[in-house]
Amino acid sequence: MLSRPRPSIGKSTSISRTARGFATLMLAAAVAVSSSVSALAQGVPVVRDAEIEALVRDYARPIFKAAGLANDGIDIVLVNDQSFNAFVTGRRLFINTGALVTAETPNEIIGVIAHEAGHIAGGHQQKLRDQLDRAKTMAIIATLLGAGAMVAGATTNSRGLAGAGMGVAAGGGEMAQRSILAYQRTEEITADRSAITYLNATGQSGMGMLKTFGRFQSALSLAGTQVDPYRISHPMPQERIANLEVLVKQSPFVDVVDPPALQQRHDMMRIKIAAYMQGQAAVARLMRKNPASLASRYGDAQQTYLYGNPGAALTKTVALIKEQPKNPYFQELRGDILMKVNKPKDAADAYAKAVSLDPARSGLLLVSLGQALMAVGTPDSLKKAVTQLNNGVGRDRENSDAYRFLAQAYGELGDVPAADLATAEGHYYSGDYQNAKIFAMRAQQKLKRGEPRWVRAQDIINYTPSNKLK
């Protein structure tokens, strides 16, 4: 399922303005996670989803490799915003759900990733990237990279995060003319050329990139329409697009299209974002082209789960599983539906299958499995839940929701110091250092000095804001 982590910071006006734009999301999100209402209230717009993160990582991996960038452990951060944006630090790729749902092919997104990789290879905005990579929590990053922060950096000297913070604080209806990520025209030309190099090295076409940038270029002339943060940060004069077109068409791979299986995963991702984030009309629009396709039927099953009847959704999902028995996300959807109809034992079985089928080894699926086992509620299943939740945070250290479930499971098993330490971790990774320290100290009182958990608690207590964003 698509879900939103619970944030602890980011109560600025411009961020909540972003959240208001997603009023339709509240219904879907309330179904997806119980904490979503507070997420919406505080407005940190990160969403988590095993399927989408894995797909975007698959888009990025060959490009990053061709660019000589860190190949292992790319973190995909999905920013819940309908505008178009994407940004890469050294090891994290931030991308708006709006960009993913707009792109009709994987190639359009891959092209944008290639261009962003070109900015990294060129050392553009290196200081900002370093600051973002040092940032401790997803919550902080999400706040800084939220649409509000992206467009509100109009203050002088706003390159860098301090400027971004000021922009967020100023907030309100002011639409800035530039972004904290503003590139220069020469940097754009360099990044375009590098992007073509990476696409050629991986045997892919530049047509998707050209289509995306061309769309932005034509949008320049339309006054008063939605301003995409990406277009503000990447200047797109006519001659840049013209030059890029020459390069793209010179490539021997200009006519290469995405492999059908990848296109299918892309279509399924788009319809999922539409179902969870945009509502039934958006799903219907995507289904219209080919109602019988697997992606359309996936969208229909999700929509039936979210807005209709779980029994019918389950039937539709089982049919999908028959067609693609190795698809972990169909099993995940089956688990979500079974949780909704209060069959946690069967849900745990579905999530366990999803975990075993998942080549991307997502921590999120383990956390869903842990939650289902918690809901079963026997001492034995609670112990299993603790194991799975610990495996989940092992793969996904910054998942603050997972620590909350872990704390609850430990609490139900009567392991109070472990519960306190998990609560401390959850606060720590969501950026609430004050409460993290309070719970770490509480845990230490019941732990033996020097044992591993005591030491971890001490690390949290010793954390100083000096490594924090400056």
- Residues at the interface with Zn ion (CB under 5 A): 183, 188, 191, 234
Q: Is the torsion defined by CA of 31, 34, 37, 43 positive or negative?
A: negative
Please, which residue, 189 or 376, has the CB nearer to Zn ion?
A: 189
Shortest reach from residue 373's CB to Zn ion, in Å: 45
What number of other Cβ atoms are within 10 A of residue 384's Cβ? 20
How many CA atoms lie within 13 Å of 379's alpha carbon, on the beta-carbon side? 3
The shares of helix, strand and coil residues in the chain, as percent rounded to the nearest 5, are 65, 5, 30
Please, which residue, 234 or 353, has the CB nearer to Zn ion?
A: 234
The DSSP annotation for 60-122 comes to: HHHHHHHTT---S-PEEEEE--SS--EEE-SSEEEEEHHHHHH-SSHHHHHHHHHHHHHHHHT
Shortest reach from residue 107's CB to Zn ion, in Å: 18
Shortest reach from residue 237's CB to Zn ion, in Å: 12
3-state secondary structure of 48: strand
Please, which residue, 111 or 426, has the CB nearer to Zn ion?
A: 111
Shortest reach from residue 249's CB to Zn ion, in Å: 20
| C-beta pairs of 30-39 under 8 Å, 24+ apart in sequence | 31/306, 31/340, 32/1, 32/2, 32/3, 32/4, 32/276, 33/1, 33/3, 33/4, 33/401, 35/4, 35/6, 35/401, 36/3, 36/4, 38/6, 39/4, 39/5, 39/6, 39/7
User: What is the largest distance, in Å, between two alpha-carbon atoms of the chain?
Assistant: 68
End-to-end CA distance of the chain: 35
Shortest reach from residue 124's CB to Zn ion, in Å: 8
Give the span between the Cα atoms of 124 and 445, in whole angstroms: 48
Please, which residue, 124 or 270, has the CB nearer to Zn ion?
A: 124
Shortest reach from residue 166's CB to Zn ion, in Å: 24
Give the span between the Cα atoms of 105 and 257, in whole angstroms: 9
Please, which residue, 86 or 447, has the CB nearer to Zn ion?
A: 86
Give the span between the Cα atoms of 359 and 291, in whole angstroms: 28
Beta bridge partners, 46, equal: 79
Please, which residue, 188 or 332, has the CB nearer to Zn ion?
A: 188
In the bound complex, which residue of the shown chain has the CB atom lying closest to Zn ion?
A: 234
Q: Are 254 and 206 in contact (CB under 8 A)?
A: yes
Please, which residue, 122 or 363, has the CB nearer to Zn ion?
A: 122
Please, which residue, 69 or 461, has the CB nearer to Zn ion?
A: 69
How many CA atoms lie within 13 Å of 34's alpha carbon, on the beta-carbon side? 6
Place of tokens 């990160």: 46
Give the span between the Cα atoms of 378 and 111, in whole angstroms: 50
Q: Residue 288: which of 299, 302, 303, 278 has the closest Cα?
A: 299
Shortest reach from residue 260's CB to Zn ion, in Å: 30
Query: For the CA atoms of the chain, what is the radius of gyration?
Result: 22
Shortest reach from residue 186's CB to Zn ion, in Å: 11
Please, which residue, 121 or 352, has the CB nearer to Zn ion?
A: 121
Please, which residue, 236 or 460, has the CB nearer to Zn ion?
A: 236
Q: DSSP label at 47?
A: E
Shortest reach from residue 266's CB to Zn ion, in Å: 22
Shortest reach from residue 258's CB to Zn ion, in Å: 22
Shortest reach from residue 234's CB to Zn ion, in Å: 4
Give the span between the Cα atoms of 316 and 282, in whole angstroms: 20
Q: Are 365 and 389 in contact (CB under 8 A)?
A: no
Q: What tokens were used for 224?
A: 């008063």
Please, which residue, 149 or 191, has the CB nearer to Zn ion?
A: 191
Taken as a whole, the chain contains a residue count of 470
Shortest reach from residue 209's CB to Zn ion, in Å: 11
Please, which residue, 234 or 297, has the CB nearer to Zn ion?
A: 234
Strands 75-79 and 92-96: parallel
